[in-house]
Amino acid sequence: MLYTLMHKKVPVLDFELDQEVDAIVKILTVHNAEHIPVGVGFENGVVNRKALNNWWLSRTIPASRSGLQEALELLQVCSTRVLLEKCFALGLSDQYWVNRPSNPLQWEDINFFDNEFSEDVGDALFGKEPKGKPHLVSPDNTSDGWLKKKWIIQNGKRILLKGGSGPYYQEPLNEVLASLIMKRLSIRHVEYTYSFINDFPISACEDFIDTQTELISAWNILFTSKKRLNHISIYEHFLESCESLGIANARADLENMLVTDFLIANVDRHFNNFGAVRNADTLEWIGIAPIFDCGTSFWYNEYAHSIKPEYKIPSKPFKGDHTEQIKLVENFDRFNFDALLNIDDEFYEIFKPSQFMETGRAKTLLHSLKIRIKMLR
Q: Which is nearer to ligand ATP, 4 or 354 (CB)?
A: 354
Q: Does 296 bind ligand ATP (CB under 6 A)?
A: yes
Size of the site for ligand ATP (CB under 6 A): 23
Q: Does 143 bind ligand ATP (CB under 6 A)?
A: yes
Q: Would you state the torsion angle of the CA atoms of residues 189, 183, 159, 38, taken in this order, to the nearest 10 degrees?
A: 0
Cα gap 30→50, rounded to integer Å: 16
Determine the 3-state secondary structure of 9 from DSSP: coil
Among 179, 271, 293, 373, binds Mg ion (CB under 5 A): 293
213-217: strand order across its sheet:
213-217, 275-279, 285-288
Q: Please give the residue whose beta carbon sits closest to ligand ATP in the complex.
A: 145
Q: Does 268 bind ligand ATP (CB under 6 A)?
A: yes
296 contact choice in Mg ion, ligand ATP, none (CB below 5 to 8 Å, kind-dependent): ligand ATP
264 contact choice in Mg ion, ligand ATP, none (CB below 5 to 8 Å, kind-dependent): none
Determine the 3-state secondary structure of 189 from DSSP: strand
Cα gap 13→36, rounded to integer Å: 8
Count of residues making up the chain: 377
Please, where are the H alpha helices in 135-225?
171-184, 218-222
- Would you tell me how many other CB atoms lie within 10 Å of the CB of residue 99? 20
Report yes or no: 316 and 269 within 8 Å, Cβ to Cβ. Answer: yes
Report yes or no: 143 and 151 within 8 Å, Cβ to Cβ. Answer: yes
Question: Least separation, in Å, of the C-beta of 162 and ligand ATP?
Answer: 6
Q: Does 261 bind ligand ATP (CB under 6 A)?
A: no
Of 294, 260, 250, 209, nearest to 376 by C-alpha is 260
Q: Does 292 bind ligand ATP (CB under 6 A)?
A: yes
Q: Binding string to Mg ion for residues 91 to 130, with x set by CB under 5 A, is what?
A: ----------------------------------------
Cα gap 127→264, rounded to integer Å: 30
Among 49, 137, 146, 200, binds ligand ATP (CB under 6 A): 146
Axis-axis angle for helices 361-376, 344-351 (nearest 10):
140
Task: Scan residues 199-228 and list those touching ligand ATP (CB under 6 A).
Answer: 205, 207-209, 215
Cα gap 40→50, rounded to integer Å: 9
143 contact choice in ligand ATP, Mg ion, none (CB below 5 to 8 Å, kind-dependent): ligand ATP
Q: Does 171 bind Mg ion (CB under 5 A)?
A: no
Question: Least separation, in Å, of the C-beta of 338 and ligand ATP?
Answer: 29
Q: Does 293 bind ligand ATP (CB under 6 A)?
A: yes
What are the distances in angstroms from CA 254 to CA 126, 239, 249? 33, 9, 9
Task: Scan residues 265-284 and list those touching Mg ion (CB under 5 A).
Answer: 273
Cα gap 225→221, rounded to integer Å: 8
Among 93, 138, 170, 260, binds ligand ATP (CB under 6 A): 93
Q: Does 147 bind ligand ATP (CB under 6 A)?
A: yes
Q: Which is nearer to ligand ATP, 85 or 214 (CB)?
A: 214
Q: Does 145 bind Mg ion (CB under 5 A)?
A: yes
Supply the Cα-derived Rg of the chain in whole angstroms.
21
Question: What is the contact surface with Mg ion in residues (CB under 5 A)?
Answer: 145, 273, 293
Question: What is the contact surface with ligand ATP in residues (CB under 6 A)?
Answer: 92-93, 143-147, 149, 160, 162, 190, 205, 207-209, 215, 268, 272-273, 292-293, 295-296
